[in-house]
Structure 1
Amino acid sequence: MTIKDIAQLSGYAVGTVSRVLNDRPNVSDAARQRVLAVVEEHHFKRNSNAKHLKQQSSSGVAIIIKGSRNMLFADIVEHIQALLRDSGYPSTVYYLDEDHDEVEQARQVCRERRPQGILFLGSNLELFRAAFQPVRVPCVLVTNSAAGLGFANLSSVSTDDARAAREAVERLMALGHRKIGIIGGCMEASNTAYTRFLGVQQAFAEHGLAFDAERQYEISRFAMSSGYEAMGHLLDRMPELTAVFAMSDVQAVGAIRALHDRGLGVPEDISVVGFDGIELGGYLVPKLATVRQDAETMARRSVEILLRQVCEGEGAVHELIPYRFLPGESTRELREERA
């Protein structure tokens, strides 16, 4: 019998079972009693020597984050660390610049720290295709899909970025906007930016509209300051635009400030839609229209999948977490084309 079997018989998650067996807090009395009843009924005994050796020979879970200013990542990591702590797994966070190689960082961490597992936030799938093979520990991509990579130890939990980006642009089109600018990441370095770009292209194509990427797409880092600069470049190149879709909320925040500094109102002059659903967007004036990713669910499922791989040797799992569009106050119906 394994921990996974106990989880199935008790009706509780693997993480909950692990906390009970390790006598950890944050477990309800009902859950503790039910798990212990299953343990007693089936005469389950953990191999304490193996457990001791496992704890001595590893350094818990590594969390590799690509992009230090991503507020969505900060929210997800907060949930992840709490879940790991409750399950008895220490965690170490590694922050990388958006241009750095997260797979090389993982290989270095494996050589020096021997983690039990790795969680990646922000990733370039081409780097995984080229160099992930030597990484043998269970891993999960959080916010990006690894479904097409084919590694048995690499799972993923993500949102359907292409579909969500397409819907965001279509929301603007439904309001009458056609002259739409896009602020997004570098597609060569960010799979998220590439996938959302595909969604943008799909929206234009399905509505029979031409999309001139050289004119309508401005590359930006996922940061407020970069969103501010990108918005200025878009206005200089396309002064007639009536709406903007930013591929992250932090870029959208910077864009709104840039519009204000140019004497333009949101949404009176230009409508703005973001992506992520970070808390800050709900406190802006106007409240930001955005695609909300479920950070809490994404964190929980990522940890559950990783710990099942660590504890039970489960194979790769790839899940899509539903998103929601929040209408906010930063868009309006276009009644008259701006010159």
Structure 2
Amino acid sequence: MNIKDIAKVAGVAVSTVSRVLNDHPDVSSETREHVLRIIDQYNYIPNNSARNLKRVSTNTIGVMVKGRDNPFFSKMIQAIEDLIAREGYSMVLHYHHVPLDDTDAAIEFIKEKRLRGLICLGGDFTEARMNALEGLDVPIVLTSVDMGGVTSHNVSTVTIKNEHAAQYAVAYLIRLGHRRIGLVTTSENDTSVGRLRMQGYKNALVDAGIKIDQSLIVDSDYTFKCGYDACKHMLDLDERPTAIFAISDVMAIGVGKAILDAGLRIPEDISVMGFDGLDYSQYFHPSIATVSQPVLEMGRISAEVLLEHIKSKIGGRQVILDTELLIRASVSEVISK
């Protein structure tokens, strides 16, 4: 979108928009406010702002992380920083945890820091808001974000097959004889990986002819405490689950602690399966089975895709990486009582 488009939408002359942008005094306050609202609505960056962006911070790349307490992204951030530093760029890190739409937060971050490019680690980005990111004309990589294959000229994605990986993990529990399998997931507001991992859980149950029991599905969040509280809820059921699948290792560790605090055994009484492949899960006792994501590779490729876009002006890539199911001590066959 250019200045002519803004003028057309606002119903004013191009010269009026120009005077507003240059803060000329000969524009009424009502007209000025109207034009500024249109500019904000369409995330318009004036040509002079774009030139300033290139002139002021051509070597600055932003990394926006969803949340504050999820250690999943730690190694990924290090891999990104190492690569962009070798290429002569600097990195500015932003943890987004306020109740602001993730797309709006990314736009605000780009404008405020005048970023040359942006990598978003996690978050809820939708096809419906893609046009807002496209309007910035700044290279963006969405990592650990599933857009269903949707990209654009300036937006690329690096992800895994979340639904398939979750389905494979739950199917493994079913092969061990588990029929009552609990799910610790995120709320319906999670339109990305949480939704897909929950769908994978449901797919595995349906394929095995197991009826989906909504009482075994507990909405939570990506924290130890949320996993702990969700598990306590399941333990209070008249018929508790024999296995619990948590859509992140952080949640799974909370689940494991709740089971042990209740005087139960893992896996003899309840098996536990996580997702991510965090070091924490390996050193919990007993070690937690999990779907391992290639974290370092995801970070490295995210930086490579962004840097290549900056250099070649060609974006819109979709990279899908493989996962690995790690079988550990927290899962076993159902033990007959």
TM-score range with shorter-chain normalisation? 0.7 to 0.9
Q: Structure 1 residues 230, 155: closer, same or farther in 2, change over 3 A?
A: same
SS at match of 2:240: coil
Q: For residues 122-137 of structure 1, what are the structure 2 equivalents within 5 Å?
A: 122-126=122-126, 128-129=129-130, 131-137=132-138
Whichever residue aligns with residue 333 of structure 1, its letter is: E
RMSD of equivalent CA atoms: 1.9
Using the TM superposition, give the Cα deviation of residue 217 of structure 1 relative to its aligned residue in structure 2, in angstroms. 0.9
For residue 236 of structure 2, give the secondary structure of its aligned residue in structure 1: helix
- The Cα offsets for residues 270-305 of structure 1, whole Å up to 9 and x where unpaired, read as 000000001111111111100000001111111111
Residue number in structure 2 paired with 1:298: 298
Q: Is the 8 A contact 2:66 2:97 kept in 1?
A: yes
User: What is the deviation of 1:88?
Assistant: 1.2
Give the whole-Å Cα distance in 2 for the aligned partners of 1:292 and 1:324.
5
Q: TM-score, normalization: structure 2?
A: 0.80
Structure 2 residue 287 is matched with structure 1 residue 287: yes
Tell me which moved more, 134-143 or 119-128.
119-128
1:46 is matched with which residue? none
Counterpart secondary structure, 1:237 = coil
Deviations 1:128-159 (A, max 9, x none): 34743433201111112335434221101111
1:75-121: CA deviation from partner (whole Å, max 9, x where unpaired): 21121111111221111111112753221111112222211111011
1:147/1:309 CA distance change after superposition, 3 Å: farther
- 1:177 to partner: Cα distance: 0.2
Shift in alpha-carbon separation, 1:240–1:233, aligned structure 2, 3 A: closer
Q: 1:98 to 1:329 in 2, by over 3 A?
A: farther
1:146/1:318 contact within 8 Å kept: no
In structure 2, runs of 5+ residues without a counterpart are 1-52
Separation in 2 of the partners of 1:237 and 1:130?
Answer: 46
Any conservation in 2 of the 1:145–1:318 contact (CA below 8 Å)? no
Deviates more, 1:190-199 or 1:163-172: 190-199
Residue in 2 that maps onto 1:170: 171
Amino acid at match of 2:89: Y
1:40-91 deviation per Cα after TM superposition (whole angstroms, max 9, x unaligned): xxxxxxxxxxxxx946344611111111111111121121111111221111
CA distance in structure 2 between the aligned counterparts of 1:140 and 1:153, rounded to whole angstroms = 8
Q: Which residue of 2 aligns with 1:318?
A: 318
Alignment-derived partner of residue 190 in structure 2: 189
Provide the residue aligned with 1:157 in structure 2.
Answer: 158
Q: Which runs of 5+ in 1 are unaligned?
A: 1-52
Task: State the number of aligned residues.
Answer: 285
Q: Distance in 1 between matches of 2:264 and 2:98?
A: 31
User: Once the two structures are superposed, what CA deviation does each residue of 1:15-50 show, in whole Å capped at 9, x if it has no partner?
Assistant: xxxxxxxxxxxxxxxxxxxxxxxxxxxxxxxxxxxx
Identity %: 32
Map of 1:80 onto structure 2: 80
TM superposition score normalised by structure 1: 0.80
- 1:57-96 alignment runs, 5 A limit: 57-58=57-58, 60-96=60-96
- Does residue 229 (structure 1) correspond to residue 255 (structure 2)? The answer is no
| 2:107 aligned partner, one-letter code | R
Using the alignment, how far apart are the partners of 2:201 and 2:84 within structure 1?
Answer: 36
Q: Report the equivalent of 2:249.
A: 249
> 2:286, 2:329 within 8 Å by CA — same for their partners in 1?
yes
